[in-house]
Amino acid sequence: MKKILFIASLLSLGLVHHLQAQFTQVELFTGLDKTDFTIFSSHPINKSRTLLVNTLAFFQKFKREHQEFNEVGVQPTLFWNVTKTLAIGSSIYYNSFAGYSERLSAKYVFKSSLLIFVLMPTVAYSEQTNTIYAEVFVQIQYNKPLNDNLSLWLNGQFLTIWDEFRLHSRSYQQYRIGLSFYDHQAGVGLDIDQYGLKPIEKISLGFYYRISI
């Protein structure tokens, strides 16, 4: 039943009305050790834009000697904007490692002309392990205009997951620095991935390209 609800949530994206403030971002990161393809979209579902459907999907592929770390994830989330800076969201997440989980998140967003800061703590229940886990996601984005069309763009994303609120399960740090021209961004990136209780660490240096649609 939960899988049916999950698929229905994805299909509902195609039924969302075309409203202002919707966007989709697609990013490809590739390096000597890893390729990562990520899609993120946000669509309001009411005219006041207090209800949003955010969808994250990614495919992470390591080179042949580290294929056991290949990972796929899909997560649609329904967010309610309580205030301009605070939202609460519920989602169903599928991950090729961890299976299905139900999640409840809070999201705090600070925006200025140059800086965006996002903090999102989450509590979730894993169907595969029958346990509760916690995670914290942080994003820091800096965009400095160089002229009317070109800007310097820096982005950092950080995630840590603790099984049973205390055991490290998965974490990553992603750094991007590049130039943004209209809706296109390109530059260099560094991914640091950790897996397990005594973290196995994988470091990937490469290039990224991102487009906003």
Residues 2-212: name the CATH superfamily. monomeric porin ompg (2.40.160.40)
Dist CA 43 CA 13 (whole Å): 8
Q: How far apart are CA 93 and CA 152, in angstroms?
A: 33
C-alpha 162/C-alpha 166 separation (Å) is 5
Is pTM beyond 0.85? Reply is yes
Q: Is the pLDDT of residue 23 over 90?
A: no
- With CA atoms as reference, report the closest residue to 43 among 84, 79, 11, 89: 79
pLDDT at 21: 58
Higher pLDDT, 51 or 19: 51
Looking at residue 64, what is its pLDDT?
76
Alpha carbon dihedral 62, 200, 93, 59, in 10-degree steps, equals -10
Give the total residue count for the chain.
213
